[in-house]
Structures are given as structure tokens and as C-alpha cells.
A and B are shown apart, each in its own frame.
Chain A
Amino acid sequence: MNTQTTTQATAQSGAPEAVVEAKNLDLVFPTNDGPVQALKDVNLTINKGDFVSFIGPSGCGKTTFLRVMAALEHPTGGSITVNGMSPDEARKKRAYGYVFQAAGLYPWRTIAKNIKLPLEIMGYSKAEQDKRVEQVLELVELAGFGGKYPWQLSGGMQQRASIARALAFDADILLMDEPFGALDEIVRDHLNEQLLKLWARTNKTIGFVTHSIPEAVYLSTKIVVMSPRPGRITDVIESTLPRERPLDIRDSQEFIDIAHRVREGLRAGHADD
């Protein structure tokens, strides 16, 4: 707790510390129909403690960019650093946890054992594993559900368990690829609220891919608007909303203005086709 407050203090007082820096990033996928430019000339800096949303139509490269950060894809041009290292090195240093659209919990493992999966792979001791499982379960408000199997949990709870799994090892960065995309609106609102709380408590840096304008505006400190063919950034919006955000902030004029700017950015990207 102590270390968290100090890191928060330094992040807030001094110059913002860049966690991810992408410069002139290009990524071309070779396909049977010829090369596809998934990312073109992407420049972006993500600072420590930022909540960055990537929004845009399908094919705009938002997921691809997230995957490049996670070293699941490799750029064909330009440069990118994560914590000052290459994404591959950052991954080996356990710099990030990744949350996919589907919870992807193993049906043959309990929730606790699912959360232990990365810990087992990374070689944590048994006692340490148990301790961390307790911590993260409490963090995603699933305390007491460790002994349950995934099928005994609702879709929203499963996704929370998968977030807990990504938090279990001490990654500073949380990359989330449409984590709530498959859930209904009401569950989604609830999870968004919880995610903000979790972000405030842990001071993680979060990269968040979404299709939803309200979700992006509600969650983010920085909204990256992207457009397809080729995938590129058309607008980066620094949110003026306070860090503390009750759900009804979405009815405020400020919120509506930001949402409007996002919509404009998306439309501008489309006008190019």
C-alpha cells in the first residue's frame, strides 16, 4: 500500500513517465490477397497511470496495436518500446497482463486454480500463489468464489476472474481487448464502474480496446480514435473528466462533448473511404 501511494505521488508530481512509446509504427500482414497494411505510421505515447482506450471500426488496427504492445505481433517498420524495452523483453519481465474478449478460463480448473495458471508458469511458490489468489479475488470482488468452477459463474463474473488472472502477477500494464464486448449493457456498466475502482486502487496503466463510445469516454484519460485501411490514428483526445467518475457523469455536458468529438473523429476516418 505504501509503495503504491509513493509511485502515485511521483507519477502525479513530476513529469509524466512514458510507459509505451510508439514511433512511426508500421505493420503489414502478408495475405493471399496481397499485403494488408494493418498499422500505418502510428505515433503514440502512453504515460504511467493512463487509462487509454482505442476505438474505431473493425479493421482499424486497434487490436493489432494492443497485440504489438504485447509482442503477439511484430511491427514491420518503426519502433515501439514498453517500459523502455522491446515488447518481447517487456513480456519476459512480466510487464503486462492481457485480458481477451472471452474469459477463456479452463473448465477443468477452479477459479483459484485458473488464477494460479500464470503463477505456476512463472514459478511462484505455493504459499505466494495462495496469497496472490486471495488478493486479486478480493480486488475483483470475487472473494469466496475461488473454489467454484467457471461454469458455476455468470459471464460477468467469469470475465472478472480473467481480469484477476491478469492481475495475479505484478504487471504494471493491463491490456484489455474488448473484455466486456460479449456482455450485456447492464453487466457492462457494472464492470466498467468496478474497473475504474480497480484502476484507482492499483494505479495500473491500462490499454483498453472497445467498440463503444460511451465506454471509451467513461473509462479513459486518453481516447485514441483509429480508422481502417490502412489502420492509423486519426485523433487522440485527452479527457477532461475527473478521475473520480460516478456512473451518472455520463449525463454531464462535458461527457457529451467528449463523446461528440470521438464520434466526429470516427466519422472523419470513414469519410476517407
Chain B
Amino acid sequence: MKSFFAVLTVLAAIVAFWYAACVPMNIKGVLDAAERGGAEVMPATSKVRRDMGSFGLVAGNTFAIAQTWEQDRPRLPAPHQVISELWKTTVMKKVTSKRSLVYHAQVTLNATLLGFVIGTGLGILLAVGIVHSKVMDMSVMPWAIVSQTIPIIALAPMIIVVLYSIGVQGILPKAIISAYLSFFPVVVGMVKGLRSPDAMQLDLLKTYSANTSQGFWKLRLPSSMPYLFTSLKIGIAASLLGAIVGELPTGAVAGLGARLLAGSYYGQTVQIWSALFAAAILAGLLVALLEVIEKNVLKRMGMAS
């Protein structure tokens, strides 16, 4: 109960800061609109106001503070504006509607999950190879690391163009960008996990003259489960990021990335922010789902920490 109030206090502080930040961020726009509407504004012309500091404007026009939280196209929308937009575009819209965030989230989710499955599969395969082959350890691992140093925002358009030129389009290019981001944490985690059995455990199998595949299935793979789940949680968040980034350069018409892009074309900041929050909520749900699975699996395996 005590921690509940502490958490609530932190949340309240964040929201309060957000509201406070809206005032100086939006004051100029509010004053311009007020001037056009015939209200008395200090100073009176937008040209003079342009060179003034935001805090000075707020101090001179305290009447306008409430309006900074109610603009149509604010620089920074207030929390309740974002929440009401989220409400309107999820609960109040039919899921099949192009204006429904649920529809867009689901488009992105499809690419995310496909990319996650590809990335995880690839990551596990590479990790198995790296653990069992010195050559692969030395040749694959450096490239895996290098691959993650390239900004995905630079690489994504090239992946899409290259795939388009060989006739691959639709969900797959996005999924591949997702997979590109999510395979890496799985490789790193699984290499560590598959190597986690200690010398004694490996010696024990040796005394049974166990072969490599028996060692893998009976010892290495089960031992790696805690590492796998940690990787999967990072991987799924990376997958979602990849899917959104994959929607940006294509001018996609559907998906959370497309919503972000459309919002920025038309200066719809409320739409941008609500798409951002939708993405964050989606990522949170995915990670939470994995956490539930992790808890159950590890508990059943007697490895819960």
C-alpha cells in the first residue's frame, strides 16, 4: 500500500510537470490566436512577441494560461488532450476504421510479431552455431555486433528499396527490419545462456559419454531459459521499434508509424502523441505478456529467482 502511494506520487509529479511545460511551450500560439480574436494581449503585436522569452509572455498574460491546455494544434499537447484523443481513436471508433488506433496498432503488431519470430529463430540458431563452432564464434559474432552500430533509420529505407526491387513488399520488409533489431539481444543472451552450465555439469555429462546433441537438449538448452526470456523481453521491444521505423520511409498508410508520419505532415501534434503512447502501451503489454510466460515457465523449471 505504501509503495502504491509512492508510485502514485511519482506519476502525479510527472503529470504536473507536463502540464507546467505546456504553458511556456504553447503560450505564443495561444496569444497569436487571442490577438486574432480581438483580445488584449501584452505586447500587442506578434512581431514583438516573437523575440520575447516564453516565461515573460506567460507572466504578462496570465489570463491565457488555461488556454495553453486547450489548443487544437499545440506544440505540446496536455495530458488530458492526449488521453481524450486515445479514447476517441480506440474505444469510440470501430476497430476496422482507418481512424482507429487499434486498427493501426494491429497492423504494426502483425509486422512486430512476424519480425520477432524471425529474429528470435535466427538469434537462437546463430547462438547455437556460435557456442558449438569456434569458427562461427570468430566470424559471426563481430558482424552481429557491427550490424547493431548502424542506425536503423538509415538502413531501413535501403532494406525496403532492395526488397521492393526483388518484388517483396507488404508486411515482410517491415518484419525483416524488426528481425534485424531483435535477433541481436537473442544472440547475445543465448550465447551466454548456452554457455552457462559450469565445468562440473559438463564433466558429469562427459562421464556418461554423452554426445554434443544430448548435452544440448538435456543441459545447455534448459539452462539457457532464464537468459532467453531476458533477451526476448528486449527483443520484442526492439521488434516493435523496428516495425514502426519500417513504416516511416515507405509512406505507409496504415500502422502506428504511418500515424506518426501523417500527424507530422499535418501538424497534428495530438495525433502524434497519442500514436506514441499507443506504441508505448503496446510495447508494455508485450513485455508484460512475456513476463507472465517467463514466470510460469521458470517456476515450473525450478529456476525462478
The interface of chain A, by Cβ under 8 A from chain B, is 70, 72, 91-92, 96-98, 100-102, 104, 106-108, 117-118, 120-122, 149-151
Contact = CB atoms under 8 A, between A and B. Distances in A.
Contacts of A92: 209
A70 B209 contact: no
B301 A70 contact: no
B302 A150 contact: yes
Interface residues of B, number: 18
Interface in B189-237: 200-201, 203-210, 214, 218-219, 222
Nearest to B214: A121
A262 B303 CA distance: 43
Given A117-B218, A121-B214, A108 B207 contact: no
Contacts of A120: 218
B155 to A, nearest CB: 39
Contacts of B302: 107-108, 149-151
A98 B219 contact: no
Q: Among B200, B207, B209, B300, which residue has the most Cβ atoms of chain A within 10 A?
A: B207
B201 A104 contact: yes
12 contacts: A70-B207, A98-B204, A100-B203, A104-B201, A106-B218, A108-B301, A117-B208, A118-B208, A120-B218, A121-B209, A121-B218, A122-B209
B204 A108 contact: no
Given A108-B222, A149-B302, A121 B205 contact: yes
B208, B210, B222 interface centre (most CB from chain A within 10 Å): B208
Nearest to B206: A72
Contacts of B303: 107-108
A229 B120 CA distance: 50
Contacts of A117: 208, 218
A123 to B, nearest CB: 10
Contact of A106 (B200, B207, B210, B222): B222
A96 B208 CA distance: 9
Nearest to B218: A117
A103 to B, nearest CB: 10
A72 B301 contact: no
Given A72-B203, A98-B204, 10 more contacts: A92-B209, A101-B200, A104-B200, A104-B201, A108-B301, A108-B302, A121-B209, A121-B210, A149-B302, A150-B302
